[in-house]
Each structure stands twice: as structure tokens, then as C-alpha cells.
Amino acid sequence: MSGKQAAKGAGGKGKKSAKGAEEKREDVLQAVIIADSFQDRYTPFTLDKPRCLLPLANTPMIEYTLEFLAMNGVQEVFIYCGRHIDQVEDYIYDSPRWRPASKLNPFTSIEFIRVSDAHSVGDFLRDLDKRGLMSSDFVLVHGDLVANIPLDAALAKHRARREANRDAIMTVVLRSAGEDDHRTKTHGITPNFLVDPSTGRCLHYEETHPLQSDHYLTLDPTLLEDHAALEVRSDLIDCGIDICTPDVLALWSESFDYELPRKNFLHGVLKDFELNGKFIYTEILDNGYAARASNLQMYDAISRDILGRWTFPLVPDSNLVMDHTYKTSKGGVCLEDGVTLSPSSTITNSVFGQRSKLGSGSTVSNSIIGRRCKIGKNVHIENSYIWDDVVIQDGASIYRSVLANAVTVGKGSSVPEGSLLSYGVQVGNNIQLTTTNAKFSLRSGDGKPAKNDNQLLGANGRGGLYTDLDDLDSDEEEDEDDPSTLQKSLIYSLAGLNLSTSSISTLSSTGDTESVVEDSVAQLQEADPTATTSDSSTRMRLSSLALSDDSSSGRTGAFHGDAVTGLLDSLRADDTSDFDGAKLEFMGLRLANDASDSAMRRAIAVAFARRAAELLNTLEPTKAAENAILSKKGAVKFVREVGVGGGEAEQVEFELDLQKTLVALVAAKNLEPARAGALLAALLQQLYNQDVLEEEGILAWWADKRAAEGESMTAVRDKCRVLVEWLENADEEDSEEEDDDDDE
Amino acid sequence: MAPVQAGYAPTLETFLKSLKGQPLESSIERLVYLLKRRQIKGAEQCATATARILLQVVAKSRWNDVDQLLVNVQQHGATLTRAAPRELVISNIVRRVLGLIRDEAIEDRNAAGDEYGVDSVSDMGALATPPEQPTSRPGPTPIKPGLATHQSFISKSMFNLLSAVHPADSTGTGTPVTGASTPVMQATSSATALRSEVIDGIEEIVDELSQADDQIAGFAEVQIHPGDYILAYQPSPTVEKFLVRAASKRHFTLLIASGPPQRGAPEATYAPLKKKLNAAGVKTIHIMAGSFAAYMPRVSKVVMGASAVLANGAIVTDGGSAVVARAAHEFSKPVIVLSGVYKLCPENSSEVEDPVELGDSSGYVSFADGPLVNGVEVENTVSELVPPELIDMYITNLGPHTRDHLDDILADHYKVEDIDFPLQ
């Protein structure tokens, strides 16, 4: 480092002052903490307190984050905070260690930035860009990060990459967590990173969750050409640590609608690589600990990791917070000063805060008990997180729950798994709560005091059942699609949710095909706003039709929609008579989606048939067909080469597609069956005249069973009888002529 | 290893470099957190950091007489001890510095006495009898808390008698000295003299720390004989130096026993050592710690390092050493412990609070192994106590000692009034 700097200094001697200043700045490592995530996954606790101040193993979460930054030699810290900013500011300013003026502060500066109208993380980062505070590489973290990893290696690599290429703007730090189920991976939403293993460059990012209908990642096929090897990693713990250059902030500013750093920003920037040309790299670590307590399930997992000392040295008995005095004793039990434990109580693998009391005959296992808690006799506590000043009376039992400050649980009561009791809730005597994953609070979702639910919590109970505002407002359907609902409970569960059963392993599945068909129906309806929804019988038929040719490709949906609209638009366009642009666009789409020949054929058939059907409103069938096919220069060639492009079998397919489209239009009540048949005949004749279709092709179609499948297909087909008969006659004449020739 | 230099993460080196420019309070706090976060760990690093920070305490903190200085050193020393209660050497260094200050104060007083023509012990005399200090004279001294304050009270009154009365300090001692003007001058000048002498003394301690390993290695060829089979369990830098030095003179075979390769530190950990030894013609065999017992009949000596040596001869060292020592004991093979004098603690093993330290669980199980992380409780003991009866010899930078000899070294290095230091 020193040598490198010296060399650089010598090189830049001419512009000494500016360069020198810049380099000096480079030595100062800056960090930005996003202390508000604009989520409500910690409700009801976050109604009164911001997430970053909630105790995780009796230590406010932000302490872990700040300690992590101090551990890595960060000097300047900027904290962005949304809701409850006053509480966070008070906490920092009252802390003997983090107070900005404190001599004990390991940072040279620690600053809060208030943004009045921020609604997302994106707003924070755009604000940061405006302020221009970031002079060089900086570390972006969230206020709920628990990590003990050294960043030096990642920082050095990032710097080297940035010096080699200015467009290497960001390094995402990730922790691998194995292929098996892991408690510290986020449940519900799985982050998927597409990584080039040789360089660590991240090429694609997408989130998947069990509620979505398809289980696919859509990749740009060119990625496969450009990279020798690619890894799709869904086994990573995304701890939200990003090493960024100021260019990252500029990108945020450019994209005013990005809200989330991963789902929007990372996904978007990688997708638009051709536009922005920015490189994003990953640093995947196999050692150390890093995770974000981004929801209650992660809170549970990280607490467990702290008890299991995976987060060492961020464990209670390191006493990293000023006034903590924890000491480990046998059996993984960590006690602070002044804890009174009855000799007849049994404790395993738990933490007790200052001046807590535990009565005789009680058992506590895998739990974290806060300060000044009073726990009576014969109490049973298992896998629970109990914050400060909680009173648990004799004989109560608590399983895998979170009890916030000043909660009281009465004698002989039981709290089942997944319960969340918010501040000051009181459970009466001998109350057996039964529903799991229930939330109780003194306040309802809109912040008003909740009515005491005396039926549930007993005569002297305080607090009521809490339901999220969103749950009240939104209807069921919307709720089910939102994966964040999966992360709102303490215990991850998919029970009671409507999950699609499509599997990832097979490319084509019924679920997917269905969605394609629905797409095409939706498009048809879009074309005519007055169209009523198709009755179930047509839908059934449609899907059976679509099945026949869709099964070859799993991704036709997006391609088909885009291609058809693109072609239709250029066919409709009055200003140009040129078709080359449309052709180019179509071929681009084809490459991007890796569409099969049959998908292309279908798209072209659909586009031309629909264009002809549109023209049918004003023109006669023959004129409409002629106009649709001949009005644009090059269209005929396009259809011949791309649309049909082959022998008899391909021609039959193309004709079938035309027929099906018209049938679908009929089904959607855009077209009368009789006119549809006439139009098909006109189209076929026109294409025959232009040498796109050959006699054999049309006759083969006529003979094909698929063309006569079902009532409406037959109805449309029958109108072509004249054309076919004429063709047959012409054929005979031809052969007669040939015969004649032979005779001569 | 250049990239380490480029990093932002604080280390012992960056910490020592930053000492000069920083106010004392923040330096101490930074050290406290470096210790808590284990960014400074191991006896050598902790001892060096403590010595250097105490040097800053002597140089920068406000004090006008010896007692104030002693209190300052005790206070800051106690802060460090609390930060890393398992690093016993921190207390040792604080005790050494306290002893040093007391010695220098006596010398000063004697010098002052000379000026005033008071008949007293000469400098030579004071130097000649370091263990028996005038201040510790009153009666036999049982070790108990509170004793030292009593002691310092005596020393205060004696000191005041001879040198000066600082206005702020004249509370208890009702013996104002006539002609106060000159003694005040005397006090400040003696304070600066004392300061520089104590600083010199601490620098000597720092030198001693850095030389200890080399001095210990100097005894290598006496201990290791040609044809020996030496078993080293997780060789520490001290042990490595010792073995390399021995290899330059002797031909022996080294068995390195180590636990499962620690995550993140693959087997290559001992590669530099193996390379050096191989270059010197010494054969090394790397065995898993679990299988060392099979080799024990072949082994002629076991060498281990220590992070602390207790007064009764027990050592605090890497987890897993005790079973090695016990196996050697069963096979009647000598166990040699290498330890700088600064690691020698006046505490007995009964006084040390739980020497077993639990470390990072990922030392044994990969965190990426989800089912194991969720289903198994992992306890990674990084340090443990080896009982004294399993150890045959201690080699310090002063030479080889037996267990019975440790008391003498303790008496030579620590003052009786400082022995119960952290409890004060």
C-alpha cells in the first residue's frame, strides 16, 4: 500500500495539490448506515421503537452494525433514518461511546441525515448523491447488520478493480451458506445471483418466492455466449453489505423509481448493462459471520447464532456495549451482574441480563432474558426472547415467542409458539393462548390504543390482537401474491397459503402454458375493450389448442406478446411503407428470448391475421388480406423467409396458426365466424399468389386433422373449400397440361 | 503479505503507530475495544500493547507525585484487565510497571535525601536489594485487598517527609515542612526526573518482550539432543523459534500435532515452520491431534507454549494441550513449557476465574453446514488449564526452571503490594 501510494504520488507530481488532497481522502473509509428499511416486518414492535434499536441478545441492533464498522476501520459514518429518527439520534447522542464529541468514539465523525419526504431506501441514496458527501469508495450497510467479517480483502479487490476499470462500481459482499436448509438464510424470498465464478462478476439478480406462479429466472442468452462458466447461486446469505463508488449514487439518481437496493437497483442495473455499462462484482465469503436481522425469522436465527457463538467476538460475554458485564459460566449460560438464580432452576444455553431473577423449579433453555426481569417459580421458557422488565409469574410457560419490554404473563398461563407480545401487554392468570403466530399489542396498526381483549387475555389483561394495516386494507388476492407476508411472523410457514405446484426442473409445465394462453386471451381482450370475458368452454378449448404448439418452449409467453405487438404496430403504421425496422426488431427479440422457430411462426401468423381482421372492419376480406400482406415493402419476404421458411410441414403449421388466431378472434367476439372463414381463404390465396405458400402446403393443411378439430375450427376451415377446390382443379389442369406436354 | 498493510482494519501495529497523536483516553478506549474484538490477542500482542499504553499513561496523564501516578496506572491497568479478563499477561505488565515506579520513587527519594544531607541508603544499596523494599517493610505482608492502600499511605507520608508537600495532597499528613518554596521546585523537578526514568524502565520492559522469544530459543540446543523425537502441539511463535534454533545445531525429528485445520487457516499454517526445518535438515511429521497418543512411546520430549504460567506451575494454553500433557505424563515423557518471564503470574490456578475460553464455533463446524449449525451445539475451547503436575520444566528467557523455582522469579519481578493488583 505504502509503496503503491508513493508511486502514485510520484506520478502525479504535476497536479500535486488536487491529487494529494484526493488521496488523503481515499485513506478515510466512509460508511452509510440505512437505519430504516421502510418495511413493517417487525410490527407490532416497531410501532414504538425503530428496528435498529430493538434488542438482539440484549444489545440494540445498531450496536452490532457500528461495531462492525469500527472493527473494519471505518472513520466517517452517516446514518440515514426515517421513522423514529429522534429515538435513534437520542440513542447515539446519549451513548458515551458513539456520541460525536466523545473521546471514546472510534469514528472521526458520525452524522445523521434527515430526509423529510423519503419513502424508500432509494430516496435516501438519491439524497446522498445530491449532497456529494462520498469522496471515494464507501461501505453501505443496513442498521440491522450483524457481522464479524473483515472487509479489508474485499475493499482491496474492489479498489483494484475500480482502478483497472472505472465502471466497476460496486462489490456486493455475500456469505455462502451451503445447499442445505439453513436457519440464517432468508426464508420466503430467495435471492438468486448469477455469478461468473472466474471473476466474481455478478451478471443477474432476481428474487424468487414460493408464491409466484412460475419458478424461472429469465436470463439473457448472450450471457451464456460471453462467459465460459456461470453459477446461479441461491445458497447465499445476503447481508446487505455493499462496497460502492460514488457512481452508484449517480445511478440511483438516474433511476428515480428504484426503491429497493436489491430487487430494483441491483436487478435493474444488471439488466440494463448494455445501457449503463456498469460492472457489479460479488465477494462471496466462506468464513466469518454476516447476516441481516431483516425480519423476525432472521431475528430468531441470528439470536440463535449469537447463543451458539457463531458471531464471535460479537457475543454477550465480550461486553462490547459500555455498561454490559456478562460472564460465561458452565453450559453456555451467560450472566450479567446481579442476576439471582434459584439453585433448583435449570438453565441451558441462555443469556440473563442485569438483576434478573429466576425462581425455583424453573427451566430456561435457548432463551435470552433481558434486564430486571422477574421470573417466578416453576416457569418454563423455551427458545424465547424476553426483553427488559418482563414479569412472568409462577407456573407460566412460554414457547418460542418474543416478549417485549414490560410484558406481564400471569400465573399458570401459557404462550404458544410464534407469539409476539408487544410493549406492556398483560396476560391474565391461567390463560391458555392457543393460536400460534398471534400478535398482541396495546396499539392497533394505525397507532391508536387498541381495545383490551379481555376474552382472550383474561379479566385483568391489557392489549388486543394486532392486525397489520395492510391486511385490513388490501383484499385477499393481493395479499397472497406479496412474499413479504411470509416474513412477518416469527416462524416461517407456508401452511394455509395457496402455492403453485409447478416445479423448476421441467421446462414446460401446465402452469406455464396456461399463463401463456391467458396472456393471449388478455391481449385479445385488450384489443377490444367491449369484449366480455370468454366463457369457460372457449378457454378450455383455447388452452388445448395452445398446448399443442407451446409445449416446445417454456418462455414463449414474453416473446410472443412483445413480438406480436411489435409487428402489429409496424403493420398499422401509416407513415412508412418499409418493413425492415420491424424485421430487425423482431429478430432482436427472437435472439433475446431464444425463441424457437415455431414460436416465431406463431407470432408472425398471429400478427398478420390480427392485422387483416382489423382491416376487415372497413374492407372486404380479399382487400383486407391484400392490404395486410402487401402494404408494407418487404413484409412478404419476411413472412416467406422467417414466418414460413420451409417445406410443406412448416407451411401447414403456419396455416394452422393463422386459422387458430382467427378462431380465437371469433371466440373473443371480435369477428363473425363467416367473415373469419372468408378472411382465411383470402389470406391463403394472397399468400399463394405471392409464392409464400405452395399448393402442396395448402392441400396438406386441408387434409390435416388438426385443422378440422372442434366446431369453430371447422366453421372457419369450411370457407376455404372453394379455394382448395380451385387449387385442386388447377392442379388437375396443371397435370393435364403436363400430360399434354408429355403427349406432345 | 502486502495486502494486510493496505487494510483499514485496525491492528496492533496501526494502534501503536497512532498512539502519539491521540489523547490518552481515546487510545485506551481503542485498545479496550481492540482487545474485546480480539483484534489484538495472544499474550505477546497484549503484553506489548499494555506496556506501550502504560508508557503513554506515565507520559501523558496528570500526576504530581508517585502516589497519583500509581493510582493512574492502576486505574488504567484495571480497565484493560476488565476488557480482556482472560489475558493474564495484562495484569503482569501492569504489576511490573507499578513495581518499576515504586523502585524509581525510592531511588529518587534517596537521591533527594542525599541533597538534604540526610543519611540514607545509597543508590547502590537500593539497587542491590530489589526484592526487599523499604516500603514493604512493615511486618509480614499477607495478601489481601486493601493492603496496598495502607502501603501507599505509608509511602506517601514518607515521601512527603522527604521531598515536598503538594498543596492538593496535604490532606492526611499533618506535617507541613518548613521552607515550602524550595521543596515545590524540588517536587516538580523530581517528577520530571521520575517520569523519564519510569519511561526508560517501561521501554526496557518492551525490549524484554521483544527479545524474550530469542532468549528462550538460546536454550534450545541444551534441551534438544540429536536423535530426539520432539512433539509440539500447535506450536506457537515462541515454540517455532525455539525449534528452528535447535534445528540449526541438532538433528532431530519433529512431530507437529494440531487440531482439525481451523476454518480459514488451512493446513498451510505451519508450512513456513516446516520449510525452515526442512532446510536445516530436520524431518517434520504432521499428525492429527487425536492420534498423537499412538506416537507417544516414540516421543522423547513434548514442547508447548503457554499464554500464562501461574504461580503454582499450572499453565493456561491452547485448548487440547492438557490431554497431550497428560499422555506424556503417563508415558513418563518430559513436558517442557516455553514462556517469557512476563507470562508468569502471581495468581494460583484456584484464583483464576474459569480459564477455559470459548471461541468461535465455526472453528470446528462450517457455518455453511445448515443442518449441523441448527442441530448441534458446538463449543470451541480456545484456551484451557494444564495442571502443574503434568509439567516438568519451564524455560523462560532467564533459563530453565523447575516448578519450585517459579516463586523466586515471581518475588524478583513483582512487588508484594502489587500482587493482588486487579482486585484493588
Digit-coded pLDDT (tens) for A561-611: 778 888 888 777 766 667 777 788 888 877 777 777 778 888 888 888 888
Judging contacts by C-beta atoms under 8 Å, the chain A residues touching residue B352 are none
Judging contacts by C-beta atoms under 8 Å, the chain B residues touching residue A67 are 37
A744, pLDDT greater than 60: no
pLDDT value of residue A508: 36
Digit-coded pLDDT (tens) for A341-365: 999 999 988 999 999 999 999 999 9
Disruptive mutation site among A318, A349, A350, A400 for chain B (greatest number of B CBs within 10 Å): A318
Disruptive mutation site among B373, B376, B380, B382 for chain A (greatest number of A CBs within 10 Å): B373
Judge: A182–B38 Cβ closer than 8 Å, yes or no: no
Contact A308/B at CB under 8 A: yes
Lowest mean pLDDT segment, chosen from A102-111, A401-410, A730-739, B251-260: A730-739
Digit-coded pLDDT (tens) for A655-695: 888 888 888 777 776 677 777 788 888 888 888 888 778 88
Does B419 reside within a domain?
A: no
pLDDT value of residue B128: 39
Residues 4-23 of A with CB under 8 A from B: 4
Residue finishing a domain among A421, A445, A470: A470
Does A740 reside within a domain?
A: no
pLDDT value of residue A398: 93
Residue finishing a domain among B165, B187, B212: B212
CA distance B37 to chain A (A): 6
- Please indicate, yes or no, whether residues B87 and B102 belong to a single structural domain of this protein: yes
Judge: B6–A106 Cβ closer than 8 Å, yes or no: no
- Please indicate, yes or no, whether residues B295 and B405 belong to a single structural domain of this protein: yes
- Please indicate, yes or no, whether residues A96 and A225 belong to a single structural domain of this protein: yes
Judge: A183–B374 Cβ closer than 8 Å, yes or no: yes
Question: Which residue in chain B has the smallest CA separation from A147?
Answer: B37
Q: A15-24 in b/e burial notation, b at 16+ Cβ within 10 A?
A: eeeeeeeeee
A548, pLDDT greater than 50: no
Does A743 reside within a domain?
A: no
Contact B176/A at CB under 8 A: no
Contact B114/A at CB under 8 A: no
- Please indicate, yes or no, whether residues B11 and B57 belong to a single structural domain of this protein: yes
- Rounded distance between C-alpha atoms, residue B64 and residue B58, angstroms: 11
Does B177 reside within a domain?
A: yes
CATH number at residue A655: 1.25.40.180
Judge: B354–A67 Cβ closer than 8 Å, yes or no: no
- Rounded distance between C-alpha atoms, residue A652 and residue A660, angstroms: 12
- Please indicate, yes or no, whether residues B95 and B120 belong to a single structural domain of this protein: yes
CATH number at residue A354: 2.160.10.10
pLDDT band, residue A721 (cuts 50/70/90)? confident
- Rounded distance between C-alpha atoms, residue A143 and residue A63, angstroms: 9
The Cα angle at residue A268 between residues A263 and A270, in degrees rounded to 5: 110
**Residue B210 · residue B45 · CB < 8 Å:** no
Question: Which residue in chain A has the smallest CA separation from B8?
Answer: A73
Digit-coded pLDDT (tens) for A448-500: 788 888 888 888 888 888 876 655 444 444 444 577 777 778 777 766 555 54
Judge: A178–B30 Cβ closer than 8 Å, yes or no: no
Dihedral of the alpha carbons of A301, A305, A311, A313, in degrees to the nearest 10: 130
CATH number at residue B292: 3.40.50.10470
The model's pTM: 0.71
Residues 167-196 of A with CB under 8 A from B: 175-178, 180-185
Does A308 reside within a domain?
A: no
Does A11 reside within a domain?
A: no
Question: Which residue in chain A has the smallest CA separation from B369?
Answer: A178
Does A495 reside within a domain?
A: no
pLDDT value of residue B263: 55
- Please indicate, yes or no, whether residues A286 and A359 belong to a single structural domain of this protein: no
Dihedral of the alpha carbons of A613, A614, A618, A620, in degrees to the nearest 10: -20
Does B265 reside within a domain?
A: yes
Does B105 reside within a domain?
A: yes
Contact B38/A at CB under 8 A: yes
Contact A96/B at CB under 8 A: no
- Please indicate, yes or no, whether residues A455 and A549 belong to a single structural domain of this protein: no
Total tally of structural domains belonging to chain B? 2
- Please indicate, yes or no, whether residues B208 and B223 belong to a single structural domain of this protein: no
> Once rounded to an integer, what is the mean pLDDT over residues A372-395?
93
What is the overall mean pLDDT for chain A?
79
Contact B21/A at CB under 8 A: no
Of B3, B33, B38, the CB nearest to A106: B33
Judging contacts by C-beta atoms under 8 Å, the chain B residues touching residue A1 are 2, 5-6
pLDDT value of residue A552: 39
- Please indicate, yes or no, whether residues A541 and A428 belong to a single structural domain of this protein: no
Judging contacts by C-beta atoms under 8 Å, the chain A residues touching residue B8 are 29, 72-74, 151-152, 155
Does A535 reside within a domain?
A: yes
Digit-coded pLDDT (tens) for A121-146: 888 999 999 888 888 889 999 999 99
Judge: A305–B373 Cβ closer than 8 Å, yes or no: yes
- Please indicate, yes or no, whether residues B244 and B118 belong to a single structural domain of this protein: no
CA distance B23 to chain A (A): 8
Of A2, A71, A289, the CB nearest to B9: A71
pLDDT value of residue A302: 93
Judge: B374–A310 Cβ closer than 8 Å, yes or no: no
Does B423 reside within a domain?
A: no
pLDDT value of residue B388: 93
Total tally of structural domains belonging to chain A? 3
- Please indicate, yes or no, whether residues A424 and A530 belong to a single structural domain of this protein: no
Exposure of A588 in the CB half-sphere (CA atoms within 13 A): 9
- Please indicate, yes or no, whether residues A447 and A543 belong to a single structural domain of this protein: no
Judging contacts by C-beta atoms under 8 Å, the chain B residues touching residue A351 are none
Disruptive mutation site among B367, B377, B380 for chain A (greatest number of A CBs within 10 Å): B367
- Please indicate, yes or no, whether residues B295 and B207 belong to a single structural domain of this protein: no
- Rounded distance between C-alpha atoms, residue A672 and residue A214, angstroms: 35
- Please indicate, yes or no, whether residues B342 and B228 belong to a single structural domain of this protein: yes
Judging contacts by C-beta atoms under 8 Å, the chain B residues touching residue A74 are 8
Query: A668: closest CA among A466, A523, A495, A553?
Result: A523
Cα A629 to the center of its chain, rounded Å = 43
The number of C-beta contacts closer than 8 angstroms across A and B is: 127
Residue finishing a domain among B190, B212, B234: B212
- Please indicate, yes or no, whether residues B249 and B118 belong to a single structural domain of this protein: no
Judging contacts by C-beta atoms under 8 Å, the chain A residues touching residue B37 are 67, 71, 313, 318, 320
Contact A365/B at CB under 8 A: no
pLDDT value of residue A497: 56
Residue A397 dihedral angles phi and psi, to the nearest 5° = -135, 140
Digit-coded pLDDT (tens) for A421-441: 999 999 989 888 888 788 888
CATH number at residue A245: 3.90.550.10
Does A64 reside within a domain?
A: yes
Judging contacts by C-beta atoms under 8 Å, the chain A residues touching residue B370 are 177-178, 180-183, 185
- Please indicate, yes or no, whether residues B171 and B229 belong to a single structural domain of this protein: no
Contact A162/B at CB under 8 A: no
Question: Which residue in chain B has the smallest CA separation from A301?
Answer: B374
- Please indicate, yes or no, whether residues B42 and B96 belong to a single structural domain of this protein: yes
Q: A473-492 in b/e burial notation, b at 16+ Cβ within 10 A?
A: eeeeeebeeebebbbbbbeb
- Please indicate, yes or no, whether residues A515 and A466 belong to a single structural domain of this protein: no
Residues 190-219 of B with CB under 8 A from A: none
Of B14, B25, B359, the CB nearest to A312: B359
* Parent domain of A601: 510-733
Question: Which residue in chain B has the smallest CA separation from A307?
Answer: B377
Disruptive mutation site among A25, A102, A104 for chain B (greatest number of B CBs within 10 Å): A104
Question: Which residue in chain B has the smallest CA separation from A30?
Answer: B8
**Residue A466 · residue A439 · CB < 8 Å:** yes
Of B23, B30, B379, the CB nearest to A106: B30
Residue finishing a domain among B185, B212, B239: B212
DSSP A345: -
Does A181 reside within a domain?
A: yes
Torsion sign over Cα A585, A586, A587, A591: positive
- Please indicate, yes or no, whether residues A137 and A251 belong to a single structural domain of this protein: yes
- Please indicate, yes or no, whether residues A282 and A332 belong to a single structural domain of this protein: no
Strand ranges of the sheet holding A138-142, from the earlier edge strand across to the other edge: A109-114, A76-81, A30-34, A138-142, A236-244, A168-176, A279-285, A201-208, A190-196, A231-233
Does B132 reside within a domain?
A: yes
Residues 50-79 of A with CB under 8 A from B: 67, 70-74
Residues 100-139 of A with CB under 8 A from B: 103-106
Contact B265/A at CB under 8 A: no
Digit-coded pLDDT (tens) for A251-305: 998 888 888 888 889 998 988 888 888 899 999 988 889 999 988 899 999 999 9
- Rounded distance between C-alpha atoms, residue A262 and residue A240, angstroms: 9
Does B422 reside within a domain?
A: no
Digit-coded pLDDT (tens) for A228-249: 888 989 899 999 999 999 989 9
Question: Which residue in chain B has the smallest CA separation from A311?
Answer: B360
- Please indicate, yes or no, whether residues A287 and A331 belong to a single structural domain of this protein: no
- Please indicate, yes or no, whether residues A94 and A209 belong to a single structural domain of this protein: yes
* Parent domain of B88: 3-212
pLDDT value of residue A561: 78
Of B361, B367, B371, the CB nearest to A181: B371
pLDDT band, residue A546 (cuts 50/70/90)? very low
**Residue A735 · residue A725 · CB < 8 Å:** no
- Please indicate, yes or no, whether residues B177 and B257 belong to a single structural domain of this protein: no
Residue finishing a domain among A470, A498, A530: A470
% of chain A exceeding 90 in pLDDT: 25
Contact A201/B at CB under 8 A: no
Residue B166 dihedral angles phi and psi, to the nearest 5° = -85, 135
A521, pLDDT greater than 50: no
Q: Which helix or strand (DSSP H or E) is residue B289 part of? A: none
Does B373 reside within a domain?
A: yes
Of A155, A181, A287, the CB nearest to B263: A287
pLDDT value of residue A615: 79
A2, pLDDT greater than 60: no
- Please indicate, yes or no, whether residues A288 and A331 belong to a single structural domain of this protein: no
pLDDT, tens digit only, all 424 positions of chain B: 333 345 788 888 888 888 888 888 889 988 999 999 989 988 999 999 999 999 999 998 888 888 889 999 999 999 999 888 888 999 999 999 999 999 888 887 777 655 544 443 444 434 434 444 444 334 344 444 433 344 444 444 444 444 444 444 434 444 444 444 444 455 566 778 888 999 999 999 999 999 999 999 999 989 999 999 999 998 998 999 999 999 998 899 999 988 766 555 555 678 888 888 989 989 998 888 778 888 999 999 999 999 999 999 999 998 889 999 999 999 999 999 999 999 999 988 777 767 778 888 887 788 888 888 888 888 888 888 999 999 999 999 999 999 988 999 999 899 888 888 876 5
Question: Which residue in chain A has the smallest CA separation from B266?
Answer: A287
> Once rounded to an integer, what is the mean pLDDT over residues A206-233?
83
Judge: A332–B2 Cβ closer than 8 Å, yes or no: no
